[in-house]
A and B are shown apart, each in its own frame.
Chain A
Amino acid sequence: MNTIHDMGGMHGFGRIEVEPDEPAFHAEWERRVFALVTAVPFAVPFGDDSLRPAIESTPPAEYLASSYYELWLRGVTKLLLEAGAVTPGELATGKAASRPGAATFGRAATRDEIAKAIMTGFSPRRAEGKPPRFKAGDRVRTRNLHPTTHTRLPRYARDKVGTVTQDRGIFSFNDTNGSGQGEQPQHVYAVGFALTELWGPGHPPGDMLYLDLWDDHLDPA
């Protein structure tokens, strides 16, 4: 999706404002949004591959005007509505008009189940997938892809030549899984690009940028 979240290389956003001794959260509602987004997927199954496209579908002007946890709230609300777990009327009142709850969806995760999941995580690494087409040292060119769906190939790195520095192993492919086409597990490679390849002259020759790219993002160069 060629929209505002894919902002690498853009100009005009101004200085970086660092807040000294910044707390984890700035308001109680941020705490609750973070916790809801962490807990809800246990009952209404969705993962990052759903949440991120939901956030990325925010119109660009609204995306930029929203704080981080506002975008999370927008994303989780969209997914809950799409799943039929809540209705617009219920969101407006905060009262359940019906209680499909655990009958239609899973039950709420308990404190212990969530504590365990935080320590275990949800790795998208997979045991099997397509055989690798590349190895460390290979020169590769990224594909010139512009899908209207979720992709992990940023705009600034399309149709660019780089070198594979490491095979990271087999991972679920977020581009397909985030657009309803399944996990399509395949190798992910660390690929190094000279800043001069990405941005033209004016960068020291040794300065590099690295991305982790899936097999389907790449062609031999």
Chain B
Amino acid sequence: MTAHDHDHPPRGRTDIELRVRALESLLVEKGLVDPAALDAIVETFETKIGPRNGARVVARAWTDPAYKRRLLDDATAAIAELGYAGMQGENMVVLENTPAVHNVVVCTLCSCYPWPVLGLPPVWYKSAPYRSRVVIDPRGVLAELGLVLPAGIDVKVWDSNAELRYMVLPRRPAGTEGLGEEALAALVTRDGMIGTAAV
């Protein structure tokens, strides 16, 4: 089964498409939602909010030590300096990976995720295999996802059970001394900021 199949359960698409269409037209008819507002919500999360935002934050932290200090001290304010804020990022915490510590983020109870910097979470992050296993076997999960951690690095797993939202600050890759902020941001992946990849 692929991740894609998870989103199309056996019940089939037609039934759910009809139910959603019925609910939306009903709520529009009752004046409880505005279709133009619905379109704007979708557009915002498909085009404006996503992991490129977080990558810019990371690249700034890699190149500006004062910004990095502010980011680790008060992540919400430092992220807002770059224009990213709002729903599901109201109370941000940034976790710094170091040569001694690797951080990884999960939400075992639900799907909590820092929307302003990473966008909406991928299906695997919301899935039972990840939510159930990363807390009890983080090294096994990371290895399955391609990140084998040496014994000398401690793993810290952060379960976003409350209203804090976490983003990992990956380690700057070796050999990138000459790169500017934009080129550095291009190296940063979504998974690096969840903690399931090195960068």
Contacts and interface: CB of A to CB of B under 8 A. Distances in A.
Contact of A13 (B3, B26, B87, B132): B132
Contacts of A99: 29-31
B108 A7 contact: yes
Nearest to B95: A210
Nearest to B154: A206
Nearest to B108: A8
A214 B42 contact: no
Interface string B108-126: 1111000000011011101
B122 A19 contact: yes
B133 A73 contact: no
Contacts of B124: 16-19
A10 B127 CA distance: 13
A120 B162 CA distance: 19
Given A39-B34, A121-B87, A27 B13 contact: yes
A24 to B, nearest CB: 5
Chain A, interface size: which category? 35 or more
A130 interface: no
Contacts, number: 299
A13 B1 CA distance: 12
Interface of A is mostly: mixed
Chain B, interface size: which category? 35 or more
Contact of B132 (A10, A92, A115, A199): A10
A94 B38 contact: no
Contact of B111 (A68, A109, A118, A206): A68
29 contacts: A7-B131, A8-B136, A10-B132, A13-B128, A23-B46, A25-B42, A30-B7, A32-B38, A39-B34, A73-B19, A95-B25, A102-B32, A108-B34, A109-B37, A114-B40, A117-B86, A123-B91, A124-B163, A125-B90, A153-B161, A154-B108, A156-B108, A156-B136, A168-B91, A168-B164, A188-B164, A204-B154, A208-B154, A214-B162
Interface in A26-61: 26-36, 38-40, 43-44, 52, 55
Interface of B: 1-4, 6-11, 13, 16-17, 19-27, 29-34, 36-42, 44-46, 49-50, 85-91, 106, 108-111, 119-120, 122-124, 126-133, 135-136, 138-139, 141, 144-145, 151, 154-164
A138 interface: no
A85 B162 contact: no
A90 B24 CA distance: 11
Given A38-B41, A70-B16, A152-B161, 6 more contacts: A13-B129, A18-B3, A55-B110, A66-B9, A108-B31, A118-B87
